[in-house]
Chains A and B, each alone.
Chain A
């Protein structure tokens, strides 16, 4: 089946540092989404990207939809302790009816 390669698998950083994570695939996606999951909760949408090359910000978060439509990255600037959680990329294939394929997640730990 289709796969998204998300990296890194985990990150341990100091409060205040910037963070970068990315997802790549061999398939072309119509939409890229970034979700965050806190322990015991469902994934919460952070940023949605709909056009190749699109760069979108949400506060300290910035994400880009790759020009080739096969990749996306998420940056978090000036990390804070509440940024801790698992970040998932998700892609919607061209022609699919809403079917999302998820990356395996990046577990972020922030040391105060």
Chain B
């Protein structure tokens, strides 16, 4: 009964490929987020969705596109992967303005 889950846990792919990471939350939260954690462990927000509406987009390249089929899911699609995209990507969820709960992360390695 994991609260926030992500798949896959690990993703290894070649430069130029397109890939997706999935996130699901069963907490009934109305807002979901994607964060990127770099090799120095710095966490930075990429996107958030509230009721299917994008409310934050922090200067992320447009190769990254969040897709939310419903309130419980926020998937991250990445086109034309680059070496610099290698990182750990975390999904999180919350009620608007409330505490955020994080998923276990997806470690993306671009070769």
- In the assembled complex, B12 has its CB within 8 A of some CB on chain A: no
Instruction: State whether B103 touches A42 (Cβ < 8 A).
Output: yes
Contacts of B104 in A (CB 8 A): 40-42
- B29-61: contact bitstring with A at CB < 8 Å (1 yes, 0 no)? 001010000001111110010100001100000
- A29-61: contact bitstring with B at CB < 8 Å (1 yes, 0 no)? 000010101001111110010000000000000
Instruction: State whether B96 touches A97 (Cβ < 8 A).
Output: yes
Stretch at the interface among A13-21, A64-72, A74-82, A98-106: A98-106
Contacts of A92 in B (CB 8 A): 97
Instruction: State whether A48 touches B99 (Cβ < 8 A).
Output: yes
Instruction: State whether B94 touches A98 (Cβ < 8 A).
Output: yes
Contacts of B45 in A (CB 8 A): 99-100
- In the assembled complex, B64 has its CB within 8 A of some CB on chain A: no
Interface size on B, residues (CB 8 A): 26
* Nearest residue, chain B, Cβ from A30: B97
Instruction: State whether B97 touches A97 (Cβ < 8 A).
Output: yes
If over half of A's interface residues share one DSSP class (helix, strand or loop), that class is named, otherwise mixed; here it is strand
Q: Contacts A97-B50, A97-B55, A98-B96 given: A104-B42 contact, CB under 8 Å?
A: yes
Q: Contacts A42-B90, A43-B43, A43-B90 given: A98-B31 contact, CB under 8 Å?
A: yes
* Nearest residue, chain B, Cβ from A97: B55
Q: Contacts A42-B90, A97-B97 given: A102-B102 contact, CB under 8 Å?
A: no
User: A42 vs B48: C-alpha distance in the bound complex, in angstroms?
Assistant: 17
17 contacts between A and B (CB under 8 A): A37-B41, A42-B90, A42-B92, A42-B102, A42-B103, A43-B43, A43-B90, A44-B102, A45-B99, A86-B41, A88-B43, A97-B55, A97-B56, A98-B48, A98-B50, A98-B96, A98-B100
Minimum-distance CB pairs A-B, first 7: A42-B102, A102-B43, A43-B102, A42-B104, A42-B105, A98-B97, A105-B41
Tell me the A residues contacting B by CB distance below 8 Å: 33, 35, 37, 40-45, 48, 86, 88, 92, 97-100, 102, 104-105, 107
